[in-house]
Chains A and B, each alone.
Chain A
Amino acid sequence: MSASPKTRADTPPDGHAGTRVVGTPQLRKEGVDKVLGRAKYIDDLEREGMWHGATVRSTIPRGRILTIHFDPRIDWDEFVIVTAADIPGKNHIHMIAADQPCLAADQVNHCDEAIVLLAHPDKRLLPEAVAAVRIDYEPLPAVLSIEQSETQEEVIWGPHTDEANIFKQFHLEKGDVNAAWATAAHIVEGEYRTGAQEHLYIENNGVIAEYSDDTGITVWGSLQCPFYVHKSLMAVFELPAEKVRVIQVETGGAFGGKEDYPSVIASHAGLLAKKAGRPIKIVYDRMEDLAATTKRHPSRTRHRTAVDKDGKLLAMEIEVATDGGAYTTLSSTVLSRATLHSTGPYVCPNIRITSRAWATNTVPSGAFRGFGAPQSIFAIERHMEQIARAVGIDSAEVRRRNFLHDGDTTATEQVMVEPVILDALLERALKESNYAAKREQFARENPHSAIKRGIGIAAFFHGSGFTGSGERYLNSLAGIHVPQGDKVRVLVSSTEFGQGTNTILTQIAAESLGLSYDDVEIVQPDTSVVPNSGPTVASRTSMVVGKLIERAGHQLIKRLQETVDLAESYTAQEFFAACDRYRDDRGTVESMCRYEAPPNIFWDDQKYRGEAYPAFAWAVYVAEVAVDTISYSAEVTNFHTVQEVGRVLNPVLAAGQIEGGVAQGIGYALYEKVQLKNGHMFNNQMTNYIMPTAQDVPPIHVSFEEIPFSHGAYGAKGIGELPHDGPAPAILNAIQDATSENFTTIPLLPEDIFVRMMARAQTPEIVSV
């Protein structure tokens, strides 16, 4: 309990309008355990009598399962064996659609698809057992690329109509695109491609499951969304809600890779637990996690843009295609975000966007920080660069002339009613990065150096929270509970996986209750204990769930003041005493709040028109690169970020989000390549899936502008995904500045730069690669 009296009237130490705890760098709530090595991740945990599980996976991308052979060299009596036939409920993992089997039954549709599950008390015997299961297939023709899927010659998903192989499509029209071409001074076309990307959380996927006929199924796991897993398990095991319990344990990184995938691994462990009659732990090793779990959607975006002589956008025709892999998972929502971010933070009166998510026989794509925006922002920000060059104006100016401002409308006719300060962000970014001077310096020095330096800009936005009516649909509930004692407990299903959920939500609770940070704890996300405050995704936790906690805190104080005479200003001691009085009277001290949509959010899901997002975060990033013409390697040498994310709730955590997101974005642009052979990722080790090390990351500078958003907790908007949107285009814009080469595909590896430079040396006129 805090020692000194605290009242609402205290001057806030951070200088912000009226807050004491929010806005300050409170220490990470679970930080002590983490630095002591005491934090328990799933592989650190055991249950009595636990066995271990492993998965037999398909070795072909598409085919019918004919027979499953169990090599007699293994004593199979020692093992528990599960196949699709053992599934008590539905053989599907329910995300948006119900097309992904929990275990393949008659057919496999991607390499590394799960077919058979094995359990044994000695985990050291499992790898050999897995290798001893041989499956005979009748191979079917596999579709392994967007282009191949688009031909629709082989239908691998959906009906045999013109919708074959299409998980989802959108079509969005604004104004009159066709009429605009004739009036254009320039028409600029471009095609941009992004590759798959692996989350590479340092902790692999893992769960422990227990099953009993009495209590049902319990799963502990490394996961983002306990209620997503809960829902999935209900279907697989045909159990009512109260007989399914999902508990998140300390999670070693997620980035979206533990949003939908845990439903798969949890079901597998649960099936083994049910059949074995004992707890089962499944923890993947790195090779399995890399090969078999979700990746970022690869994309191809085509732009055709009409601009006037000053470089102002007249019309944008955009075609977006994503590769969803073998099953729907989250492809429709990723496509939605990709569609809605494809125009960039610019004004354009005439827009046509056609977007499709295609099925291929590869491991299903899933959520990954940014969720379609990194793909789209890469395309538009590279394209703006080409527009600048076509018109003959510089990179900053082309953006200035087209930025959204207050009162402008987006592609979906959403009016910018909240302030849009892109101009200020751009000016600050140019100033802090010393853009003009560097540009001039590099231009002067490059001709005399084997190292070509360049500097590039990306301007972008990221819609905070779920699209349109998504939050209404989620209908989140969250709140505060005060048990006997001197601690307040925050009850949410929002999970901590490094981004700071625990810290932020307890800061908000402490602030709204007039208490200190140490007076508040957060309860472990356990579906039998906490309400469903929605998934920990979409950069919604601070803004939306935080707001529920903020309201719950104020609601509790009001209640205590109205019913048990809590004074207008009070100490922590007085607060807890009031809670005691309330509890004596009512039995429990609890304050829950349900989501309330901000006013004037109208979204038409059919026409794709209206308020796509309640709020946007805005940013301008500047990348400096050095391209070595001896090794053809490009490295990022310096990186500046300026962003507006509403109120910064914790400056250390916020900066940490930006820095980490930028590092991932650098990997996305220059290092991380998923290499597939026949649909199987064969560079599935950390030695050959390359992320930047401590010697590869540049200095990363972080600046915030703050414009509080009234409907977000203490003014906060979303922050977590924004920083992954900007780095790739800023970097490739810088490379174009350094080398004059227009690279349109990421990851951009030295081998790719080499091929282009060789081609250029042979034929100096325009080369298309």
Chain B
Amino acid sequence: MSACSLHIRFTINGQQADVQAPPMKRLLDVLRDDLGLTGTKEGCGEGECGSCSVRMNGELINSCLVPVLQVDGALIETVEGLAIDAELHPLQKAFLECGGAQCGICTPGMLMAATHLLARNPQPSMDEIREGLAGNLCRCTGFVKIFESVVAASAMKGFDLNAR
């Protein structure tokens, strides 16, 4: 058993992060344990539930499936980066107003998936919303108010995802 600790440097929500970690440590665990960013959750460890979803170099991924070696030099965005100071991201606002969060454990991953969806497709159809969120399991809502939240966010005036 060797696995030396490596120095990994990446950008997290616009800030530089430097961690010492074994290369096979999961990005999920680096976020939660090394950086104290506990917003990203573990629901299954198998890439099925999406509660660990973050964006890496602009792509939605399951952080439980990424060894931290591969994160070197990457841009990582988590739920903690959505709000700017005290201002909620439109999606966060929509989830709050539409009842898109019940127990809240799937919410961070769901928000990242929704952010990713709207960044690529600002006015998605219902089928596109369903597909965009298909990798994020919610056991509380039946997804209905999550869909409503995404629709509401996409309708918010002056909402330009690329500006954030």
The docked-state distance in angstroms from the alpha carbon of A500 to that of B101 is: 10
Work out how many contacts link A and B, with CB atoms closer than 8 A.
164
- The stretch of B4-12, B46-54, B66-74, B155-163 in contact with A is B46-54
Contact between chains at A652 and B102 (CB < 8 Å):
no
Asked if A687 is at the interface (CB within 8 A of a chain B CB), the reply is yes
Bound: A255/B141 CA distance, A: 12
Contact of A202 among B46, B99, B137 (CB under 8 A): B137
The answer to whether the Cβ of A663 comes within 8 Å of any Cβ in the partner chain is yes
The answer to whether A659 and B43 have CB atoms under 8 Å apart is: no
With both beta carbons as reference points, the residue of chain B lying nearest to A699 in the complex is identified as: B144
B37–chain A nearest beta-carbon distance, Å: 8
Q: Report whether A660 and B131 are in contact in the complex, using a CB–CB cutoff of 8 Å.
A: no
- In the complex, whether A748 has a CB less than 8 A from a CB of chain B is no
Q: A252-B103, A656-B99, A686-B44 are in contact. Are A35 and B111 (CB under 8 A)?
A: yes
Which residues on A sit within 8 Å (CB–CB) of B78? 37
Question: Are B41 and A41 neighbours in the complex by a CB distance under 8 Å?
Answer: yes
B106 adjacent to chain A (CB < 8 Å)? yes
> Is B122 part of the contact surface with A, judged by Cβ < 8 Å?
no
| Most central of A27, A34, A251, A286 by chain B CB within 10 Å | A34
Q: Mark A672-695, 1 if CB is under 8 A from B, else 0.
A: 000000000000011100010111
State in angstroms the CA–CA spacing of A675 and B152 once bound together: 40
For residue A474, give the distance in angstroms from its CB to the closest CB of chain B.
Answer: 24
Contact A31 B96 (CB under 8 A): yes
Which A residues touch B83, using CB under 8 A?
36
- What mask results when residues 25 to 65 of chain A are scored 1 for a CB within 8 Å of chain B, else 0? 10110111111111111011000000000000000000000
A58 to B142, CA, bound (A): 35
Q: Which residues of A contact B48 (CB under 8 A)?
A: 685-687
Q: Does B136 contact A (CB under 8 A)?
A: yes
Across-interface contacts of A499 in B (CB, < 8 A): 102, 140
B108 lies within 8 A of chain A by Cβ: yes
Q: How far is the CB of A250 from chain B (nearest CB, A)?
A: 7
Given contacts A686-B48, A694-B136, A695-B134, are A652 and B99 in contact (CB under 8 A)? yes
Whether B45 lies near A286 (C-beta < 8 A) is: yes
0/1 per residue, A197-219, Cβ < 8 Å to B?
A: 00111111000000000000000
Select one of B96, B103, B133 contacting A35, CB under 8 A. Answer: B96
A270 at the interface (CB under 8 A from B): no
Q: For A255, give its contact among B44, B111, B133, B139 (CB under 8 Å).
A: B139
Interface size, B (range): 35 or more
What 1/0 flags go to A723-747 for Cβ under 8 Å of B?
0000000000000000000000000
Which listed residue (B39, B41, B101, B131) contacts A38, Cβ 8 A?
Answer: B39
Give the Cβ gap from B94 to chain A, nearest Cβ, in Å.
9
State in angstroms the CA–CA spacing of A401 and B21 once bound together.
Answer: 70
Q: A32-B96, A38-B39 are known contacts. Are A695 and B139 too (CB-CB below 8 A)?
A: no
Question: Is A616 positioned at the interface, with any CB of B under 8 Å from its CB?
Answer: no
CB B161 to nearest CB in A, in angstroms, measures 16
Q: Which residues of B116-154 are within 8 A (CB) of A?
A: 129-131, 133-147
Main secondary structure of the interface of A (DSSP, over half): loop
For residue A562, give the distance in angstroms from its CB to the closest CB of chain B.
40
Cα–Cα distance between A32 and B146 once the two chains are bound (Å) = 15
Q: Are B104 and A498 in contact (CB under 8 A)?
A: yes
- Closest Cβ–Cβ distance, residue B34 to chain A (whole Å): 13
* A271 is an interface residue with CB less than 8 A from chain B: no
**Chain B residues, CB < 8 A from A38:** 39
Number of A positions contacting B (CB below 8 A)? 55
> A695 near B41 (CB under 8 angstroms)?
no
Contact A35 B92 (CB under 8 A): yes
A254 to B40 Cα, complex, angstroms: 19
Let me know if A184 is at the binding interface, CB within 8 A. Answer: no
- Nearest A-chain residue to B48, judged by Cβ: A686
A655 contacts B by Cβ under 8 Å:
yes
Residue of B nearest to A661 (CB): B142
Residues of B within 8 A of A200 (CB): 139
Residue pair B88, A201 in contact (C-beta under 8 Å)? no
Q: Contact check, B144 vs A659: say whether CB atoms are below 8 A apart.
A: yes
Please report the C-alpha to C-alpha distance between residue A286 and residue B52 in the assembled complex, in whole angstroms.
14
Q: Does A579 contact B (CB under 8 A)?
A: no
Contact A652 to B139, CB < 8 A, known contacts A28-B96, A202-B49, A202-B106: no
Docked complex Cα distance between A662 and B145 (Å): 13
A694 to chain B, nearest CB (A): 4
Question: Which of B97, B104, B136, B144 is within 8 Å of A250, CB to CB?
Answer: B104
A659: B residues at CB distance < 8 A: 141-145
Known pairs A499-B102, A655-B99; A202 contacts B131 (CB<8 A): no
Question: What is the distance, in angstroms, from A624's C-beta to the closest C-beta of chain B?
Answer: 16
A656 contacts B145, CB within 8 Å? yes
Interchain CB contact under 8 A, B99 and A35 = no
A555 within 8 A of B: no
| Central interface residue in A200, A251, A499, A660, by most chain B CB within 10 Å | A660
Of all chain A residues, the one with the shortest Cβ separation from B89 is A35
Identify which of A285, A655, A693 contacts B134 (C-beta below 8 A).
A693
Taking a contact as CB atoms under 8 Å apart, the answer to whether B143 and A697 are in contact is yes
Which chain A residues (1-35) contact chain B, with CB distance < 8 Å? 25, 27-28, 30-35
B107 at the interface (CB under 8 A from A): yes
Chain B residues within an 8 Å CB radius of A199: 139
Q: A32-B96, A38-B39, A686-B49 are in contact. Are A201 and B103 (CB under 8 A)?
A: yes
Q: A31-B96, A693-B134, A695-B130 are in contact. Are A498 and B140 (CB under 8 A)?
A: yes
CB of A700 closer than 8 Å to a CB of B: yes
| A41-B41, A652-B99, A686-B46 known; A35 vs B88 contact (CB < 8 Å) | yes
Q: Choose one: B41, B82, B133, B134; the contact of A252 (CB below 8 Å).
A: B41
Kindly list chain A residues whose C-beta atoms are within 8 Å of the C-beta of B134: 693-695
Interface flag for A576 (CB, 8 Å)? no
Q: How far is the CB of A494 from chain B (nearest CB, A)?
A: 15
With CB as the reference atom, state the residue of chain B lying closest to A702.
Answer: B144
Nearest B residue (CB) for A34: B104
A498 with B102: in contact, given A36-B83, A659-B145 (CB under 8 Å)?
yes
B103 contacts A203, CB within 8 Å? yes
Contact flag A497-B137 (CB < 8 Å), given A27-B96, A687-B46, A700-B144: no
Residues in B neighbouring A662, C-beta threshold 8 A: 142
Does A360 reach chain B (CB closer than 8 Å)? no
Instruction: Check B38 against A40 for contact (C-beta < 8 Å).
Output: yes
Given A687-B46, A694-B146: A253 touches B96 (CB 8 Å cut-off): no
Is A335's beta carbon under 8 Å from chain B? no
Is A491 an interface residue when CB atoms closer than 8 A count as contact?
Answer: no
Over the window 81-95 of chain B, the binary record of Cβ atoms lying under 8 Å from chain A Cβ atoms (1 yes, 0 no) is 011000010001101
Residues on the A chain within 8 Å of B138, using CB? 202, 694
Q: List 23 A-B contacts (CB under 8 A).
A: A25-B99, A27-B97, A31-B104, A34-B107, A35-B93, A35-B96, A36-B39, A37-B80, A41-B41, A43-B42, A202-B51, A204-B43, A253-B105, A498-B103, A652-B145, A656-B99, A659-B145, A660-B139, A661-B142, A662-B142, A686-B44, A686-B49, A693-B135
With A39-B104, A200-B139, A686-B44 given, name 12 new contacts (CB 8 A): A32-B88, A34-B104, A35-B107, A36-B92, A40-B38, A44-B38, A204-B43, A252-B103, A655-B99, A656-B141, A686-B48, A694-B138
The 9 A-B pairs with the shortest beta carbon distances in the complex, nearest first, are: A37-B39, A252-B105, A498-B103, A663-B142, A34-B104, A498-B102, A37-B79, A44-B38, A659-B142
